[in-house]
Amino acid sequence: MLKLALLSLVIAAVLALLGFGGAAGAFVGIAKILFFIAIAVFVLFLVLGILAGKGVKNALD
């Protein structure tokens, strides 16, 4: 997901250099959305991993 966000930023930069401001702005918006989705998924998996680790530790004790 972060690769797609980075790719969108690169495309936006190229479009901005070529003078396509509207399309560049759209790609920047897409990159922002993908970045925040990636952060949310990371936090979700981090919390689930911590909870699963505690469950395994309690089962072993």
What is the structure's pLDDT at 59?
72
pTM: 0.76
Give DSSP secondary structure letters for 13-53.
Answer: HHHHHHT-HHHHHHHHHHHHHHHHHHHHHHHHHHHHHHHHH
The structure tokens listed for 16 are 């901005």
Query: Tell me, what amino acid is at 49?
Result: G
Q: How does pLDDT run across 4-61, given as a tens digit for each residue?
A: 999 999 999 999 999 999 999 999 999 999 999 999 999 999 999 999 888 777 777 6
